[in-house]
């Protein structure tokens, strides 16, 4: 009997989602005779049984579209806002799965989605995931789709900012996304010829950044470009976070752990404006006019790059083959030039971060880029 497959997109939107949906849907339907049902708005859609049939017309003409035709949300099955309360909707998700007689559920998303998918695996569902995020921080895969498009957008922005920085002899600070991983800042910074790149994995010292900029000025360079990952921290801030995490790990009671978790959340909430503070500090330390550009959600939108369309299509069609083989509980990961099937249990809760000795960090140093350390 032909399989019935469910599919949802969860977490932040990004270019390439529709290409993956199309690749999976067309291959599943046309090559393997599967029925494909989409759930709207992430895990909320399967909890509340909001569906759409992904037939030929629905899958046509979406390859180049940004966003996701299914809609998305950051709702978690086990902590979903319902009627002003946080409810565990896992049983409702399981009930919807069985009501539709699904053989498997495919979840497209980032790190949070992998953790939510694992919970559904543990609840007895057949689940397969695809790695989607502009942050490129999903464990066990060299690339996630969405990253290449965001990288191109960030690089183009840096290219454009070069001209205004040169004209006014300014320091231009550019904040890019990436959550707590520095891949987007690292690659966009190198591609855009940034003079300083600040990564979450390498806590910086503001005086070292200022020293690098003053050195450029003394050598006759009239401007500097500083690329900052949104999760970058100073050495003092990183030490504060490390201390809170260590204290939470050693806490004796649930109450103490909750209080320390609340302090960590407060730190990260307040850290959102750190690039503004850094910009002001650099202007004061260098005496040079300094301006800030925060790219924000510009990096998530628009038409996916050719590379993201190709990669997402490849993942989608490979997923159809995995489903046909009835292999479940895995995420499809790019390792080298092959797609591997990694157990979701090995992915969930882990992150792919930039190592301090990564070849791109070394390459940046060799061309004179400062990392603020």
Specify whether the CB–CB gap between 31 and 316 falls below 8 A.
no
Distances (CA, A) of 221 to 191, 213, 224, 225, 265: 19, 9, 8, 11, 40
| CATH node for 4-145+301-347 | 3.40.50.450
Instruction: Provide the 10 A C-beta neighbour count for residue 162.
Output: 15
118 three-class SS: helix
Distance in angstroms (rounded) separating the CA atoms of residues 146 and 109: 10
Domain 4-145+301-347 shares a fold with domain 150-300+355-366: yes
Instruction: Provide the 10 A C-beta neighbour count for residue 365.
Output: 11
* Dihedral angle sign, alpha carbons of residues 182, 185, 188, 191: negative
Based on its alpha-carbon atoms, the radius of gyration of the chain, rounded to whole angstroms, reads: 22
* Dihedral angle sign, alpha carbons of residues 253, 259, 262, 267: negative
Instruction: Provide the 10 A C-beta neighbour count for residue 269.
Output: 9
Distance in angstroms (rounded) separating the CA atoms of residues 17 and 107: 11
Catalytic residue IDs: 135
User: pLDDT value at position 286?
Assistant: 93
Instruction: Provide the 10 A C-beta neighbour count for residue 257.
Output: 15
310 three-class SS: helix
Instruction: Provide the 10 A C-beta neighbour count for residue 249.
Output: 9
Q: Which residues pair with 123 in a beta bridge?
A: none
Instruction: Name the token pair of 132.
Output: 């989607």
Q: How is the chain split into domains, by residue range?
A: 4-145+301-347, 150-300+355-366
Distance in angstroms (rounded) separating the CA atoms of residues 26 and 346: 29
| CATH node for 150-300+355-366 | 3.40.50.460
Residue-level pLDDT, tens digit, the chain, 373 residues: 789 999 999 999 999 999 999 999 999 999 999 999 999 999 999 999 999 999 999 999 999 999 999 999 999 999 999 988 899 999 999 999 999 999 999 999 999 999 999 999 999 999 999 999 999 999 999 999 999 999 999 999 999 998 888 887 889 999 999 988 999 999 999 999 999 999 999 999 999 999 999 999 888 888 899 999 999 999 999 998 888 888 888 888 888 888 888 888 888 888 888 999 999 999 999 999 999 999 988 888 889 999 999 999 999 999 999 999 999 999 999 999 999 999 999 999 999 999 999 999 999 999 999 999 9
Distance in angstroms (rounded) separating the CA atoms of residues 210 and 204: 11
Query: What's 128's DSSP letter?
Result: E
Instruction: Name the token pair of 204.
Output: 């910086």
On the CB side of 339, CA atoms within 13 Å amount to 19
User: pLDDT value at position 245?
Assistant: 86
Instruction: Name the token pair of 182.
Output: 């520095």
pTM: 0.93
CA 87 to chain centre: 26
193 three-class SS: coil
């Amino acid at each position: 009997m032909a399989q019935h497959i469910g599919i949802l997109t969860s977490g932040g939107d990004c270019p390439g989602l529709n290409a993956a949906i199309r690749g999976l849907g067309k291959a599943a339907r046309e090559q393997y005779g599967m029925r494909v049902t989409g759930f709207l708005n992430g895990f909320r859609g399967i909890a509340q049984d909001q569906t759409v049939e992904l037939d030929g017309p629905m899958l046509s003409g979406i390859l180049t579209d940004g966003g996701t035709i299914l809609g998305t949300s950051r709702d978690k099955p086990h902590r979903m806002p319902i009627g002003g309360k946080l409810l565990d909707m896992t049983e409702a998700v399981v009930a919807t799965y069985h009501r539709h007689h699904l053989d498997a559920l495919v979840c497209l998303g980032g790190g949070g989605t992998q953790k939510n998918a694992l919970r559904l695996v543990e609840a007895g569902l057949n689940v397969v995931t695809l790695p989607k995020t502009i942050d490129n921080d999903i464990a066990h895969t060299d690339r996630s789709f969405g990253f290449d498009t965001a990288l191109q957008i960030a690089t183009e922005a840096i290219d454009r900012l070069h001209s205004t920085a040169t004209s006014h002899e300014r320091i231009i600070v550019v904040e890019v996304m990436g959550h707590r991983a520095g891949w987007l800042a690292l690659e966009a910074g190198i591609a855009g010829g940034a003079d300083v790149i600040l990564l979450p994995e390498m806590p910086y010292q503001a005086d070292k950044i200022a020293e690098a900029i003053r050195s450029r000025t003394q050598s006759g360079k009239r401007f500097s470009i500083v690329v900052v990952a949104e999760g970058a921290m100073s050495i003092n801030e990183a030490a504060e976070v490390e201390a809170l995490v260590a204290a939470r790990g050693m806490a004796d009671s649930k109450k103490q752990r909750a209080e320390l978790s609340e302090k960590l959340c407060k730190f990260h909430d307040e850290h959102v404006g750190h690039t503004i503070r850094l910009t002001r500090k650099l202007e004061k330390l260098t005496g040079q006019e300094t301006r800030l550009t925060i790219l924000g959600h510009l990096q998530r939108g628009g038409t996916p790059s050719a590379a993201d369309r190709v990669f997402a299509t490849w993942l989608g069609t490979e997923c159809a083959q995995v489903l046909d083989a009835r292999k479940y509980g895995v995420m499809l990961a790019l390792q080298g030039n092959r797609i591997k099937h990694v157990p979701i249990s090995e992915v969930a809760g882990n992150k792919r971060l930039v190592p301090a000795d990564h070849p791109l960090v070394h390459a940046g140093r060799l061309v004179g880029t400062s990392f603020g350390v």
